[in-house]
Structure 1
Amino acid sequence: MTNEERKVVLEEKEEEDQQQEDEEDTNEVEEDGMEDYDEDLWETPANTLDFIASASLEELCLLPRVTMEVARKIIALKPFSHQKYLKSALDNLGLPVVTVLNGVYRLLAERQALNDVMANCTAIASTTRSLVTRLLKNDQTLSQDVECDGLLQQPKLLNTKLRLKPYQLLGLNWLSLLHKQDVNAILGDEMGLGKTVQAIAFLAHLIEEGEEGPHLVVVTASTLANWQREFDSWSTDLEVLVYYGNQPERRMLRCEILDKIERPNVILTTYQCVIGTKEDRGLFRRLRLGCAVFDEGHVLKNMATQRYRQLTALRARWRLLLTGTPVQNSLLELLSLLRFIMPTVFSGPDLTRVFQQKCDTNWERAQVDRARQLVQPFILRRLKTEVLEQLPVKLEEVEFCTMTNGQKNLYLKLLQKLAEKPAAGEKREFNNTLMQLRKMANHPLLHRFHYQGHLFTNLVLLLTKEPDYQENSQVEIEESLSLMNDFEIHSLCMEHPALVKLSLPPSQLFDSGKFQFLYSCLPVLHGKGDRVALFSQFTSMLNLLACLLSHLHLRFLRLDGSTPVAERQELLDQFMEDTDIFAFLLSTRAGGLGLNLTAASTVIIHDPDPNPHNDEQAAARVHRLGQTRPVRVLRLITTETVEENIETHGRQKLNLQQELDNGNNDALHIVMYVSAFSSSTVTLLPLVSSS
């Protein structure tokens, strides 16, 4: 078959797949829109009366036309001893009786559907729990009840020079056990314990057992290169096809796969490439997959997303989710994961509506506890402290950095600006109070207080004479500069020789409490031979940190969200191999997933993330399998001195975590805009409170 003929055949197949997808979308819309309730509801009022008699405010608000105010009125009219009293009460409140009762019947039907599914799931969980318990206790008689020849050893397809750890062998046996029971699984080991290696070992085991695939591994783009490296390291005998690239490249790969020119055991790809275009979706819908592995499985915790729906449509005989993120206390998230790993059990429009509800009721809280129990047999989660006694210790410290005098003065000036009410018709200068204060607590140059007045005017005039700006009017230049902070303008001055004289001196570049600490700390670490992974949430902060490292003549690399995926593994390799590179600058979100930074031994979190788990992921890039030295994790927190705070404001210590849990986003705490600290026992002083 020629390339042109293959192209025509592929287009026809893709068109058929798109028609099928459109039909399924139409059916789904029709199904979700069904109204199958009888209007004559008064023949069986018992369930209705029971529900309304016991319903909480939140549950009543789930009913159509019932607001919180109306729900309070309904509760005030209880009890409803007879159906006529209920009908009379609804009439008096102006509520359509049939509409409300339809809502009650629908809600009860949804809950019953969930109860039925939970019961079915409980039966599966009970059998699985018994087998898993015996496996974890190393019960050698397990093979008598499960078709296997004893506990598995390391697959022969794996590199004999590399050995699985004992807990990884246990993970392999656990995966094999659930696979034999046709029960999908979630491997939830803590970050850094080698979930990637265990998944590769399991795929090698399946292929040795005669299940040659194709198997599918779906990963995030940032970890694709790492997965390739792990496949190459652990097994050169596995035929792994990387489905990645631009659209023409993927088109050629689709032709080779469908024409069986390529017969891979494993197709390694990214989430975007699986669902990116209708052609991509058509390919993977057409394939009959053996095992489908989904890395960073917590991205599937929301079944309302298009990604979730499209990945659920993949036809795979067995599914495995890998996630280092603990299962959360959300019914929506728990059931979304359960539905993904057991789609045939968790199906139906009633369940769909239950999953999509977000209501904190007693019933839901009870279901959360129930769902957590159900999930346990399908999840294997080990912590480093449980399985890696030989892993070096991790020491976590909080460094409280007192504001410099200049930073404190600018902070107070910013507070005054934030307190000012804009005149009628005038736009507020700062919209996000919390973010503005966090920026000032990190570094004053993230605002613009220096380049003001005469200095700003002089800068604009000088820029009009620069070749790069000669086509711009003075007004356009002013508007452009007005959007920049002080450090961005400083960087602009450094790019033009005529403006260098207006650049900032080091005394201003490093005028923050955190930078004063780093200025003294980093050279000491370098002198001791330590290497540092330095994290910040903000790329603008990384720019400032790069300036500090350059000033200290310390070599460094940088990775953030704008770093091309193809370059990320090269940067990691360079950091691992070149010991003269002292620091690696990373943005917390981009650098906290799937990277191996064991060449470093010190982690510095410059500005802790509001979600503490993101910082834990970042630290796990260093404290992980392969680390040979003790790991020190430093979180930098900006604060005032205790004595001055008490003397100035007369405030008592506040529990930051409690404040955040209570949704107190109006209280202005120094630490609040620097960090939502993970420990609920940490108590810190507020600088200013809005109350």
Structure 2
Amino acid sequence: MSKATVEGFREGIRLLPHQVVGRSWMAERESGKKCGGILADDMGLGKTIQTLTRIVDGRPRKSDGEDGWGAATLVVCPVSLVSQWASEISKMAKSLTVIEHHGASRTTSKNELRISSSNSSSFPRSGNSETRTCRCYQLRNCASEHAASKPEAKHEAKPKKTSKSMPTTTKAKKKDALFRVKWWRIVLDEAHNIKNRNTKAAQACCALDGKYRWCLTGTPLQNNVEELYSLLKFLRIKPLNDWQTFNEQINKPVKSGRSVRAMKRLHVVLRAVMLRRRKTDVLNGKPLIELPERHLSIVPCTFDEDERQFYFALENKIDEAMQKFVKNNEVMKNYTNVMVLLLRLRQACNHPSLVSKDYNTDREAIESRPAPKDENEDEELTAMFRQLGVSNGKKCQLCQDELTHENIAKGGERCNDCMELTRKAHRKSMPLAKDSDLPPDSAKIRKILELLNEINSREDEDGELAEEKTIVFSQFTTMLDLIEPFLKDAGFPFVRYDGSMSKEKREVSLDQIKNNKQIKAILISFKAGSTGLNLTACNNVILVDMWWNPALEDQAFDRAHRLGQTRNVNIYKLTIEKTVEERILTLQNSKRALTTAALGGDRIKNLKLGLEDLMALFRPGRDDDDD
């Protein structure tokens, strides 16, 4: 049998040459005392099919069952990918059954899990290939089951008060079944989601019991080398799975600029446990995959005079606030406040009205707040964020300055200086006419409509309208809210996909954009849809706003530019010149260099992001003549 053919896969499915290499590597990483690793191929190279190959190939023996290991593989992934895994398994692997384990109705019985994972009939006998089970489980509930599995967890519901004639309430069952099974294999998809070692999700994933453990991620490192620690801890790679060792030997030296020896140590470990291929890599003289071309355009958007005056008035106000922090040497002490100031500048680039809205609506757009050291600190930070969002008499929601007693007495959320800016921003959200729901547009909304009209009018080789579809990405759900009425007014059919929607509604949106020819665009929030989704039905991507981490953008682009795409992909990255976005573009280059050095074996030299980099984002972006 050819190495490209997998026994147990449906007829006609063949592995690509680089996937054959991955198949052999994964098998080797489950041999002897080796227990898995990191498959860090670029998105679109087929991490899923290589993993399914390992699941089909790497079956437990009867003796493994006698040792207590189950026969099933547990896939832990974001909720948006649970159904996608189930779909891929059913399409490719005829020898696997898949059970989705998520939501309030998921089983609480470890015995029910063991029926599919530990039953002796699930183990191969005499060379027969019995059906084995793959369970797909969502990441966000992993922490809750972990908490419920702890001995001190209160797992019995308090009985309700009832009359003597009514039966008493039965005991509530703990939802911790995943932690009471010894899994044969655990696959952590989009593994970068546990990059913060202090989160409950990271701790829960690391606590799962499995013989073989795999991390799948196209971006194993996004911001700093500390993010690799969680992956090594999950894989139980000694000695770097111990935080003190990792911190002393890797993290601290890199942060202090003494990275040569530390990076050598890290690279030795990564070369052993990680397989990473890029789309641009060549195997046997040929590219790993033949993809259509990808055209990236930086598209400048022009402020109108009102937008321009508003943005620079806001920037002046924020610059004053920053100067106070600098003067008192309190920038990092007020890190959260600084990130809110940055958030406001970014919002103003999209639409002035966003600045008047509650900050909490877009709190997920701040991705770089310091990791809390413990749960109490996490609660304190949460309270701080809430305070910053609604500013209940403490700080101005715009400039983060202390509010006066007069402001507090009036229940104000802005200082006197920011009130006029807020009024102007709010007016930008009001309909232009009584018979219209449309507020004033913005530079980016005008450009989005212009691009969509151009895309929608393209013709194919026969002179017919081409079947073009577009993904519109934004980190701000409030911006998606603003875009919607303009698309409706233009008669442009679209669907939406964001974290506030139920799993069922999100799946409907995905089905519509993939299979309904009338639907021409999908509005997606970065947080919910920048990873994992396969949207090759779309060959255009509009990135409404940017962040300094280019890895996040690459993930978004790869929703369309991946295996299965048959058309050239056009990417439009919107930006406002002479604003904070221009400085973000510059900073992105440093982030790319850091990632390349850490994962590629290069030497890191003066590439870490620090106070100076953060401050650079606040330097005025206009020319001196504009002052």
Normalised by the shorter chain, which TM-score bucket? 0.5 to 0.7
Q: Deviations over 1:245-264 (max 9, x none)?
A: 20x5422x544224679956
CA distance 1:479–1:568, shift in 2 (3 Å): same
- Within 5 Å, which residues of 2 pair with 1:210-609? 213-246=71-104, 249-251=106-108, 253-258=109-114, 265-277=133-145, 278-279=148-149, 282-327=176-221, 330-343=224-237, 345-346=239-240, 351=245, 354=248, 358=252, 360-361=255-256, 365-386=260-281, 387-415=287-315, 417-418=317-318, 432-448=340-356, 501=434, 509-510=440-441, 512-528=442-458, 529=466, 530-609=468-547
C-alpha distance in structure 2 between counterparts of 1:595 and 1:225, whole Å:
11
- Per mean C-alpha deviation after superposition, the further-off stretch among 356-365 and 195-204 is 356-365
- Within 5 Å, which residues of 2 pair with 1:51-200? 152-183=3-34, 184-200=36-52
**Which secondary structure does the structure 1 equivalent of 2:7 belong to?**
coil
- Per mean C-alpha deviation after superposition, the further-off stretch among 374-383 and 281-290 is 281-290
CA RMSD in angstroms comes to 4.1
Give the aligned residue type for 1:187: L
User: Aligned residue for 1:41?
Assistant: none
- Within 5 Å, which residues of 2 pair with 1:44-55? none
Q: Is the 8 A contact 1:560 1:591 kept in 2?
A: yes
C-alpha distance in structure 2 between counterparts of 1:607 and 1:269, whole Å:
31
TM-score by length of 1: 0.61
User: Aligned residue for 2:562?
Assistant: 624
Give the aligned residue type for 2:21: L
**TM-fit CA distance, 1:353:** 6.5
Q: Deviations over 1:516-560 (max 9, x none)?
A: 323322211101132111111101111121122122211011111
Percent of aligned positions that are identical: 28
CA distance 1:570–1:364, shift in 2 (3 Å): same
Give the aligned residue type for 1:409: Q
User: Aligned residue for 1:57?
Assistant: none
**TM-fit CA distance, 1:503:** 6.3
C-alpha distance in structure 1 between counterparts of 2:502 and 2:30, whole Å:
37
**TM-fit CA distance, 1:268:** 1.7
C-alpha distance in structure 2 between counterparts of 1:444 and 1:577, whole Å:
36
C-alpha distance in structure 1 between counterparts of 2:313 and 2:72, whole Å:
63
Q: Is the 8 A contact 1:207 1:213 kept in 2?
A: yes
**Which secondary structure does the structure 1 equivalent of 2:218 belong to?**
coil
C-alpha distance in structure 2 between counterparts of 1:518 and 1:368, whole Å:
43
Q: Is the 8 A contact 1:290 1:318 kept in 2?
A: yes
Residue 633, structure 1, aligned to residue 484, structure 2: no
**Which secondary structure does the structure 2 equivalent of 1:256 belong to?**
helix
**TM-fit CA distance, 1:602:** 0.8
C-alpha distance in structure 2 between counterparts of 1:297 and 1:382, whole Å:
17
Give the aligned residue type for 1:438: R
Give the aligned residue type for 2:266: A
**Which secondary structure does the structure 2 equivalent of 1:413 belong to?**
helix
Give the aligned residue type for 2:216: L
Q: Is the 8 A contact 1:331 1:355 kept in 2?
A: no
**TM-fit CA distance, 1:186:** 0.8
Q: Which runs of 5+ in 1 are unaligned?
A: 1-149, 423-429, 450-475, 642-651, 673-684
Instruction: Report the number of matched residues.
Output: 477
CA distance 1:404–1:217, shift in 2 (3 Å): same
**TM-fit CA distance, 1:437:** 2.4
C-alpha distance in structure 1 between counterparts of 2:116 and 2:103, whole Å:
20
**Which secondary structure does the structure 2 equivalent of 1:192 belong to?**
coil
C-alpha distance in structure 2 between counterparts of 1:315 and 1:375, whole Å:
23
**TM-fit CA distance, 1:365:** 4.8
C-alpha distance in structure 2 between counterparts of 1:656 and 1:361, whole Å:
20
C-alpha distance in structure 2 between counterparts of 1:433 and 1:480, whole Å:
15
Q: Is the 8 A contact 1:536 1:605 kept in 2?
A: yes
Residue 202, structure 1, aligned to residue 54, structure 2: yes
Q: Is the 8 A contact 1:300 1:336 kept in 2?
A: yes
Give the aligned residue type for 2:141: C
Residue 663, structure 1, aligned to residue 558, structure 2: no
Q: Is the 8 A contact 2:192 2:217 kept in 1?
A: yes
C-alpha distance in structure 2 between counterparts of 1:303 and 1:480, whole Å:
35
TM-score by length of 2: 0.66
CA distance 1:235–1:604, shift in 2 (3 Å): same
**Which secondary structure does the structure 1 equivalent of 2:612 belong to?**
coil
**TM-fit CA distance, 1:323:** 0.6
C-alpha distance in structure 1 between counterparts of 2:5 and 2:482, whole Å:
48
CA distance 1:403–1:287, shift in 2 (3 Å): same
Q: Is the 8 A contact 1:446 1:485 kept in 2?
A: no
Give the aligned residue type for 1:178: R
C-alpha distance in structure 1 between counterparts of 2:554 and 2:548, whole Å:
12
**TM-fit CA distance, 1:201:** 1.6
Q: Is the 8 A contact 2:186 2:213 kept in 1?
A: yes
**TM-fit CA distance, 1:562:** 0.9
**Which secondary structure does the structure 2 equivalent of 1:632 belong to?**
strand
**Which secondary structure does the structure 2 equivalent of 1:245 belong to?**
coil
CA distance 1:655–1:640, shift in 2 (3 Å): closer
C-alpha distance in structure 2 between counterparts of 1:598 and 1:666, whole Å:
39
CA distance 1:244–1:690, shift in 2 (3 Å): farther
C-alpha distance in structure 2 between counterparts of 1:558 and 1:485, whole Å:
30
C-alpha distance in structure 2 between counterparts of 1:332 and 1:363, whole Å:
15
CA distance 1:490–1:255, shift in 2 (3 Å): farther
Q: Which runs of 5+ in 2 are unaligned?
A: 65-69, 120-131, 150-173, 282-286, 323-336, 358-408, 459-465, 591-608
Q: Is the 8 A contact 1:531 1:602 kept in 2?
A: yes
* Structure 1 or 2: more helix by fraction: 1
**TM-fit CA distance, 1:269:** 0.9
**TM-fit CA distance, 1:623:** 0.2
**Which secondary structure does the structure 2 equivalent of 1:663 belong to?**
helix
Which of structures 1 and 2 has the larger relative contact order (alpha carbons within 8 angstroms, sep 6+)? 2
CA distance 1:503–1:411, shift in 2 (3 Å): farther
**TM-fit CA distance, 1:655:** 5.4
**TM-fit CA distance, 1:187:** 0.5
Q: Is the 8 A contact 1:187 1:195 kept in 2?
A: yes
